[in-house]
Amino acid sequence: MCADPAAERPAVKLVLCWHMHQPEYRDSRTGHYALPWTYLHAIKDYVDMAAHLEAEPRARAVVNFAPILLEQIEDYAGQLKAFLQEGTRPRDPLLDLLAAEHPPRDPDQRLELAQACVRANRRRFIDPHAPYRVLAEMVTWLREHPEYVDYQGDNFFFDLVTWYHLVWLGETVHRSDPRIRSLLEQGRDFTPAQRRLLLEVIQGLLEGLLGRYRRLAEAGRVELAFSPYAHPILPLLLDMDSAREAMAEAALPEAGDYPGGEARARWHLQRGMEVFERIFGQRPRGCWPSEGAVSDAALHLLAKEGLRWAASGEGVLTHSLQRQGEEDLSGSRRWLYQPYRFDDSDLTLFFRDDGLSDAIGFRYADWHGDDAVANFIHHLEEIGRAWEQDHAGEDRSAVVSVILDGENAWEHYPANGYYFLSALYRRLAEHPEIQLTTFSGCLDGPPRQSLPHVVAGSWVYGNLETWVGDADKNRGWDLLIRAKQRVDEVRRSGRLSREEESAVLRQLAVCEGSDWCWWFGDYNPGGTVGLFDRLYRLHLARLYHLLGEHPPRELSQAISRGGGEPATGGVMRPGRKSGD
């Protein structure tokens, strides 16, 4: 807890918070998955992150899950169990190919599957493995000469999909499972029995994954937290105009405010806590609001739901303190390294150290693991020294919040971050002036400074421009708002049964997720934008079908085409603009 005796008080309390989330990739009508990222990140990143925490008993961390992700992990585990026990075909194209007796015969399907099987970090996943590298080069050639895809034999597709899944397994699995090491060493001509063996490994990892996190939490080694059910941007659901608190001139959707936004925000919180409690056997004490997006209205809602803490980005805090009249936010930055009490509520707020968080997410991938950890610890020591100078004699430590995506950074590191994460937990646990803890572990202690008002924003740039303001993003909102208006009209008509209404509200939640507007915009890579654009419109069309209506014609037209590079957009974005 944060009220340690002064003689034993460390200079720094460090909270490492890893956020795990993926949007809904399933078609709710068929149960088929459009994209494989949920199970691939599960068998690579979520597995490895659990293993690193299990390997260092002195480590502590917060792991935050989006509930809609948890449901998909359960679904994948059930799918593969049904295949292995009953022969039921998996509802994911890549798992189905791994399980198949023959690849599909349609040339377009064959080429699409081949291209999907090289959708990975070339430097870290493909190039280190000579057999896979050759297969990937063949796919590149086929992309340029698609008329020859029929000349590829079955073994080409089966070796390709086997390699794809082998490299997407976590590094801790590569090191600990002799079955996987044997397949990696063999390299080619994988038999049906070997592909089934790989499916058994994947199924076991998926089925046991959430239980591993639950056991870590029950042992007091991890605090589990959650985001609202389908990962919506709460401030925009509650008040579209909140975007202008940090961006005064922001263009807003033509359709206006989101209708019934407070009820929808409450639905996401309550449904999210229900899913969390069912899976982990406890109610969460804290919340990483989707993308750290907060506003006064959003935080009051979290407090009403009984949550004890929430976290957001450094930019939100600087904007909020400046709005209160604080001018000098340089120096030791003591304003960042302390919890805040929100208004007059029981909700405690923590704010992300952008520099340290982004160093892990974006800078350290090409460093030697020991050097990166030494640099990280050096910055923490500097924070501790500055804090001690400013707070000599006080019975409190600096509280440093390092919050980042727990899944997408590691593919840019050697061995999926194995060397960095192993050294990080070990050296932090050994350090006499740094204590690894959790947000709940910092709720008790000296009185916290009150923060009566927050400027609405997120961890990205301290504002909401990633989700609103751009013409494409606003069009995405306009389509959603019109769909929500139709949902309200149909519900008022009374023609939906209780079961039908429940399905409609869940499908609406899927459409309210943050990921769709994240991808819209010309700074994102066009290929990925197209995938998420189509999926968003599929989800909206499904919502109309559940209402018993034909989708509007505008849903057949692309919302955004992208065209940027992953360095300036993509699945991860730095928390601060260059030069900030």
Q: 453-483: per-residue pLDDT in tens?
A: 999 999 999 999 999 999 999 999 999 999 9
Pairing, β 340-342 against β 348-351: antiparallel
CA angle 361, 362, 364 (to 5 degrees): 90
Between CA 217 and CA 222, with CA 221 as vertex, the angle to 5 degrees is: 55
pLDDT per residue over 202-223, tens digit each? 999 999 999 999 999 999 999 9
Q: Mind listing the pLDDT tens digit for each residue in 157-211?
A: 999 999 999 999 999 999 999 999 999 999 999 999 999 999 999 999 999 999 9
Q: Measured at the alpha carbon of residue 201, what is the angle toward residues 195 and 204, in degrees to the nearest 5?
A: 140
Looking at residue 575, its pLDDT comes to 46
| Contact call for residues 332 and 384 (beta carbons, < 8 A) | no
User: Is a pLDDT exceeding 60 seen at residue 29?
Assistant: yes
Place 572 in a pLDDT band, splitting at 50, 70 and 90.
low
Q: Which residue in this structure is represented by tokens 């751009």?
A: 470
Q: What pLDDT score does 568 carry?
A: 41
CB 158 within 8 A of CB 152: no
Specify whether the CB–CB gap between 347 and 496 falls below 8 A: no
Measure the CA–CA gap between 238 and 37, rounded to whole angstroms.
Answer: 29
What is the reported pLDDT for 574? 57
With CA atoms as reference, report the closest residue to 183 among 158, 162, 160.
162
pLDDT digits (tens, 9 = 90+) for 90-128: 999 999 999 999 999 999 999 999 999 999 999 999 999
Confidence of residue 577 (pLDDT cuts 50, 70, 90): very low
Integer Cα distance of 65 and 74 in angstroms: 13
pLDDT-derived band at 570, boundaries 50, 70, 90 = low
Q: In the predicted model, is pLDDT for residue 301 greater than 80? A: yes
pLDDT for the residue 11:
87
pLDDT at 4 over 50: no
- Rounded Cα distance between 255 and 259, Å, is 10
Q: Span 552-564, mean pLDDT?
A: 91
Sign of CA dihedral 409, 412, 418, 420: negative
pTM as predicted = 0.95
Query: How confident is residue 565, by pLDDT bands cut at 50, 70 and 90?
Result: low
Confidence of residue 8 (pLDDT cuts 50, 70, 90): low
Nearest alpha carbon to residue 295 among 232, 354, 201: 232
